[in-house]
Amino acid sequence: MRAIAASAPTRGHYRIYITGGGTAVEMGWRENTLDVNLSVDREDVLRDVQAIKEKLNINIELASPADFVPVLPGSDDRHIHILTLQNVSFYHYDPYGQFLSKVVRGFEKDLQDAASLIRSGLVVPEQMKSLLGRIPKDIYRKYPNLSASAVEKVVLQYLKRRERGQT
Confidence (pTM): 0.92
Contact (CB, 8 A) for 88 and 8: yes
Q: What whole-number distance in Å separates Cα of residue 30 and Cα of residue 58?
A: 16
95-126, pLDDT tens digit by residue? 999 999 999 999 999 999 999 999 999 999 99
Domain-wise residue ranges, the chain = 2-163
Helix 95-105 vs helix 125-133: angle between axes, to the nearest 10 degrees?
80
Can you give the pLDDT at residue 56?
Answer: 86
